[in-house]
Amino acid sequence: MTIANRRRQSAVRRTVAPSGLADARTCYDHLAGRLGVGIADVLIARGHIVLAGDDAAITNSGRQFFEALGVDPAAVPGRRPCCRACLDWTERRPHLAGKLGSALAQQFLARGLIERQRGSRALTVTPAGRRRLFEIFGLEF
């Protein structure tokens, strides 16, 4: 029993990341960390996107929601899918990828809601970003 229990405990690994990376970062060109996962959770709960495994889809209410935000996935170049789930390595839950995830990150950067940290994938949520993330998604950072 003791040996089996030790073996079982060592098989489960915890992810430890610097807090900046765990809070908010880019994953390729989309939002990840607690920020990205939190946004995905809200979008799913409100019925704006549907995630099933690696596949994802934007709903009609989602299109209207993103249009109101000024987020246009069609403006992102490339042939990748509009909406895709991406497993977050710190949260172990999905965040939003694809053209939609990229367009959302670009919009937040352009509006000064988030800023890149020099030499890192970590992002800083600005004071204006904290207010806006709470207004739009009910998220607190």
Helices 60-69 & 98-110 angle (0-180, nearest 10): 20
pLDDT digits (tens, 9 = 90+) for 34-63: 999 999 999 999 999 998 877 889 999 999
Residue 42's contacts (CB-CB under 8 Å, 6 or more residues apart) are: 137, 138, 139
Domain limits of the chain?
20-137
What are 2's two structure tokens?
């003791």
pLDDT digits (tens, 9 = 90+) for 80-120: 999 999 999 888 899 999 999 999 999 999 999 999 999 99
What is this structure's pTM? 0.84
Nearest to 54 by CA among 28, 81, 85: 85
CA angle 86, 89, 95 (to 5 degrees): 30
